[in-house]
Structure 1
């Protein structure tokens, strides 16, 4: 008896298929108009504070001064507390450790130290802020508000404009800049 081999032929099945993109297209047709409409409601605003023209001229003069004589910076650390540093040409002239109220920032002491520094350096309008990563955003905003102007206008500073006019203003450091944005 002879053995016979049966050959099993597999049916020819087309293994390629078409991907149905209609659900994804329908999703895009719905999402794109919603996203376009949502962008209308998102706005980034700057709060412009009305400053006298003489003060604005003095601030512009300070910004255009390429060789800064004095640099005032505030290091904010949750453990060590705030430290104000005044430096000239990279050399620290004065470092003031501002006390804390328990675990909170002592904004009254910070305000008085900033007033003292502004009285010593009336032509400086820039404060470099260096908060550590652990400092909450709310605390940074409070410190920035303290640095911009004296509270309730109780102290006024003589500001000399570009044309030589002197104006009294409660503006201290309206240009608060972050100096440690790129770290690690």
Structure 2
């Protein structure tokens, strides 16, 4: 006897195998957890550059100003330091860019000579490397400069 089904003897019920989908999801969750562990958001605490207080009459704190040149050279100058004559010196670039060893030696010498010097302002030129500017700010923090700022204007 023939069946009156239109499906030619095939059953319309079937099972979906969800194991491959679960495998893919478990691998993706592992990747998500691992990448979340390795991602860090680094921040540098900066302040606005020292303002011009010629109108208010207040004195700015003694500060070290570092000009980051586009070729990797640096210029260090001291401002508002009582009892110190005008100080400005240049650090020429090394073969690899900024001469970091020379910068560290100069920062250490300045901190030893003037322990009250705790403010550092970085003045990058327009074509300066962003990585160099951040690394200069990091060096200032490394030598215990509490107020590290960046100024777009000289």
- TM-score norm. by structure 2 comes to 0.55
Q: 1:47 to 1:115 in 2, by over 3 A?
A: same
Structure 1 residue 116: deviation in Å?
Answer: 1.1
Distance 1:128 1:108, change over 3 A: same
The one of 141, 144, 147 equivalent to 1:175 is 147
CA drift at 1:80:
7.3
What value does the CA root-mean-square deviation take over the aligned residues?
3.1
Q: What residue in structure 2 maps to residue 75 of structure 1?
A: 67
Query: 1:75 & 1:81 partners in 2: Cα distance?
Result: 8
> Of Structure 1 and Structure 2, which has the larger fraction of its residues in strand?
1
Shift of 1:103: 5.3
**Any stretches of 5+ residues in structure 2 without a counterpart?**
1-40, 46-57
Counterpart of 2:88? 95
Aligned residues: 102
CA distance in 1, matches of 2:73, 2:150: 17
C-alpha distance after superposition, 1:2-23 (max 9, x if no partner): xxxxxxxxxxxxxxxxxxxxxx
Q: Deviations over 1:38-91 (max 9, x none)?
A: xxxxxx87468xxxxxxxxxxxxxxxxx523522100111237100001237x9
Which of 91, 100, 114 is the matching residue for 1:107?
100
Q: How far, CA to CA, are the matches of 1:115 and 1:178 in structure 2?
A: 20
Normalized against structure 1, the TM-score is what? 0.47
**CA displacement at 1:175 relative to structure 2:** 2.1
